Amino acid sequence: MAKVSKIKRYRCADCGAISLTWTGRCQTCGAWGTLYEEREGASGSPKSQVKKLLLSEVGEVKRFSSKITELDRVLGGGWVEGAVVLLSGEPGVGKSTLLLQSAIAMAEEGKKVLYVSGEESASQVASRAKRLGAKDGLLFLLCTDDIDEALSAAEDVEFLFVDSVQTMRDKNESGWPGSPLQVRLTAQRCIEIAKSRAIPCVLVGHITKSGQIAGPKLLEHMVDVVMFFEGDRSSRYRMLSAEKNRFANADEVGIFEMTERGLVPVFDPGRMFWNETSLKEAGVAMGVVLEGSRPLVAEFQALASSTPFMYPRRTSRGIDLNKLHLLLAVLEKRAGLISKNCDVYVNVVGGLTTKDPGADLAICMSIASTLLDRPLPKECCFVGEVGLAGEVRPVARTALRIKEAERMGFEKIAVSRYEKCERSGKIRQIEFESLKEAVRMMFP
């Protein structure tokens, strides 16, 4: 029999560090009240053995389609047997709606699907399901916050949804639902059942005000797939992206529109994030950003207004504020466009958030346009990364971006002179080496 250690060990529910004494604060991560006594069972499990790695042992990944095309795209083909997916996002973004839609669709295919809701009552879930056009009596529903109840109900199902991991509670342990310990324990129990029964399990996760997944940091490491559902409240569009995916490429993005009857996948997001109306104003520049493998034409708007204050405001929506600071510094140093007496606001239209460095040139051109108060030619799009030396650098998948700009009816596209992609199609390519050159050419 495996030896079981008699020494008490305490594990931090937040960072997973082990300590031999209990302290109110974890010595490793500094979190308060997260240490709990680790049960002996874990250390008494059978010893693992070292063996040679055999490629023949590769198991086949069995997938189920989620019945929602854009969700399948992000998952890499569908839910995976035995895999645990964590879906996070702000309250009201549509997490429960998306999962209920998938649960309903799979139940209608004849699968035994259990939807556990710790947040809503049966009548609330029923009214949502009705709105989503569900057929009667196919989906199994359990409204509880007790993880034991939830998991015993999941004994013979083929699919498990838990909405949400922060509302579930293990009654045998201390702590409120949502505390690092409880989140960790409930997630661990769900993972165990998903692995032992080889069923897919989806957990909804809340996020904190700063945008982090609520609960222990370990949660993201414990699950197989971490997805984020985002979207501006004022916009109908929602974007689903995978931050981690153990079974597929993690950089795909799914786009949805929130409608009266739930979330509808957007097949052609071509004109979602821009329209022709504002193209003639100063401060507007069009770019083509890459979201996953998909190019999207995006509209960048900047507004600079003079300020009498010592510390001008810089505000950004849709791009990182630090990126805005950096690009303003590059514009000043490398292209001579001074903004130190102006408040500068930058916005990406339609609630799009992008981290793509290929947007740099379009952002810079929108700022240059507002600072000079001269509009850009409306038929032109900008693609390129801007370096600290003021150089315009090549970016990933330029050919794809050029094709999309052409498809959307743009006549010209400005790219880095060092792009190696072949010229193709009717769209005219303008090439820049530096930001200075771009500003000089666009605002002669």
Closest C-alpha to 284, from 370, 213, 350, 199: 370
Instruction: Flag whether 444 is marked binding.
Output: no
Work out whether 89 is an interface residue with ligand TYD (CB under 6 A): yes
Nearer to ligand TYD, 238 or 401 (CB): 238
From Mg ion, ligand TYD, none, interface partner of 91 (C-beta below 5 to 8 A by class): ligand TYD
Q: CA–CA separation, 35 vs 16, rounded Å? A: 9
Q: Is 271 in the site for ligand TYD (CB under 6 A)?
A: no
Interaction partner, residue 89 (ligand TYD, Mg ion, none; CB < 5-8 Å by kind)? ligand TYD
- Binding to Mg ion (CB under 5 A) within 75-134 occurs at 96
Compare residues 34 and 96 and give the one whose CB is closer to ligand TYD.
96
Query: Does residue 89 have a known ligand-binding role?
Result: yes
Map the footprint of ligand TYD across residues 111-140, applying CB under 6 A: 128, 131-132
Closest CB to Mg ion among residues 49, 123: 123
Rounded to 10°, the helix 360-372/435-442 angle is 50
Out of 12, 227, 258, 330, name the contact with ligand TYD by CB under 6 A: 258
Cβ contact 141:117 at 8 Å: yes
Phi, psi values for residue 52, rounded to 5°: -75, 145
93 known member of a binding site: yes
Q: What are the tokens at 11?
A: 């594990």
Q: CA angle at residue 392 from 389 to 398, to 5 degrees?
A: 150
DSSP 24: S
Rounded to the nearest whole angstrom, what is the least distance from the CB of residue 120 to ligand TYD in the complex? 8
Of the pair 96, 245, the CB lying nearest Mg ion is at: 96
The span from the CA of 138 to the CA of 132, in Å, is: 14
Q: Which is nearer to ligand TYD, 73 or 128 (CB)?
A: 128
Is there binding between residue 205 and ligand TYD (CB under 6 A)? no
Cα–Cα dist 124/429, whole Å: 54
Q: Which of 386, 392, 400, 379 is nearest to 296 (CA)?
A: 400
- Closest approach, Cβ 167 to ligand TYD, in A, equals 11
Helix ranges restricted to H, 262-397: 321-335, 360-372
Stretch binding ligand TYD (CB under 6 A), from 22-30, 76-84, 258-266, 274-282: 258-266
- Window 385 to 424, contacts with ligand TYD (CB under 6 A): none
- Residues 285, 366: contact at Cβ < 8 Å? yes
For ligand TYD, which residue of 78, 94, 358, 384 counts as binding (CB under 6 A)? 94
Q: Which amino acid is at 203?
A: L
Q: State the virtual CA torsion across 118, 119, 122, 123 in degrees, nearest 10.
A: 170
Least spacing, CB of residue 163 vs Mg ion, in Å: 6
Q: Is the dihedral of CA 149, 71, 96, 134 positive or negative?
A: negative
Please indicate if the annotation marks 306 as binding a ligand: no
Q: State which residue, 135 or 313, has the beta carbon closest to ligand TYD.
A: 135
At position 322, the amino acid (one-letter code) is: N
CB within 8 Å of 195: residues ≥ 6 apart: 82
Identify the DSSP state of 61: P
Of 34, 97, 182, 241, which lies in the binding site for ligand TYD, with binding defined by CB under 6 A? Answer: 97
Which of Mg ion, ligand TYD, none does residue 325 bind to, with CB < 5 to 8 Å depending on kind? none
Show the tokens assigned to 411: 């006549």
Q: Does 91 bind ligand TYD (CB under 6 A)?
A: yes
Q: Which residues bind ligand TYD (CB under 6 A)?
A: 89, 91-97, 128, 131-132, 258, 260-262
User: Binding site: what residues are annotated?
Assistant: 89-96
User: Binding site for ATP: what residues are annotated?
Assistant: 89-96
Q: Which residues bind Mg ion (CB under 5 A)?
A: 96
